[in-house]
Amino acid sequence: MPATRVSPERVAMKQIATDEGDIIIPVTGSDNQSDRGCCSSCCSLFLWFLSFLLIICTFPFSLLACLRVVQEYERAVIFRLGRLLSGGAKGPGIFFIIPCLDNYTKVDLRTISFDIPPQEILSKDSVTVTVDAVVYFNVTNPTIAICNVVNFNNATRLLAQTTLRNVLGTKNMSEILTEREIISQQMQQILDHATDPWGIRVERVEVKDVRLPVQLQRAMAAEAEAAREARAKVIAAEGERNASRSLKEAADVISESSSALQLRYLQSLTSISAEKNSTIIFPLPIDMIGGFLPPPQQQ
């Protein structure tokens, strides 16, 4: 049987306890890692001694370099000789650092908003649209945001652009125009799930604008105008039909009484005289002038 080769390198997991939670960091080492740890411990003790000696010798001026202040909305992630300090991020208020050993990074916990640049997207029905949106997010765990990603702000921006293109690529043009709220909620859930390992929470995503090509806008405007004209014709025809039914019913009522037609005639004269017209036309029934006409000649 062939011999199995075992790599001398071993991968261990280092767990660091912080206020925000435990952070597990993979650590790769070799068999002589203990020797290297002893050397680094000796160097660390020497640097500690030298740093405190300088601080004591330059006291109280050394306090200007040792004391740091972070605001209420900020946290400081401290690394001592390249290693994350236990206890999590410091702040708000005053905290103490060793100038020669410590390096710290401030993280803003306030809500950050940014505009997604306009993205040309091919929709599901092969229509090219230009869409831009706004994303609101904040840092919930400063320690993870610094340790797990190089630049969490830039990474969130790039992820938002990609998510916008992926989500809108599965929608039709009509869905993009009418379902903005659903699209925003879907993007917010996807981004929040993807940025959770980075210590970032996406609060809100809003689709700001959807721009269509000019030719498509003209076609949609012509389609909407034709639809409105069709509805107007249907409404006008419905009105004519209702009016004709009402006139028929009125004619049936008037035909039941001979004086009703005369009263309607007098009402018409009253409305004509109210308009101060100089000419009034009196319609006469043919029966009234039948007696004045000569009798027809007999052949």
What tens digit of pLDDT does each residue of 117-167 get?
888 888 888 888 889 899 999 999 999 999 888 889 999 999 999 999 999
Sequence length of the chain is 299
Rounded CA-CA distance 267/203 in Å is: 72
Candidates 131, 205, 208, 126; CA nearest to 172 is: 126
Residue type, 155: A
pLDDT at 154: 92
Short-list 135, 256, 257, CA closest to 192: 135
Neighbours of 195 (CB within 10 A): 22
pLDDT tens profile 82-104: 788 887 788 888 888 887 788 88
- How far is Cα 184 from Cα 172, in angstroms, rounded to an integer? 15
Could you tell me the mean pLDDT of each successive run of 10 residues in the chain, 299 residues long?
Answer: 40 50 50 54 73 76 79 89 82 82 88 90 86 92 90 92 90 86 91 91 90 77 83 88 84 74 73 66 60 62
CA atoms of 143 and 151, how far apart (whole Å): 13
Q: Output the six-digit token pair for 17.
A: 């306890």
Give pTM, 2 decimals. 0.62
- What pLDDT does residue 4 have? 40
Structure tokens belonging to residue 124: 């599901």
Q: Determine the Cα–Cα distance for residues 114 and 158; give it in Å rounded to an integer.
A: 11
90: nearest Cα among 143, 140, 138, 48: 143
Beta bridge partners of 160: none
Question: CA–CA separation, 173 vs 89, rounded Å?
Answer: 46
pLDDT of 31 reads 46
Q: What's the rounded Cα separation, in Å, for the pair 200 and 210?
A: 27
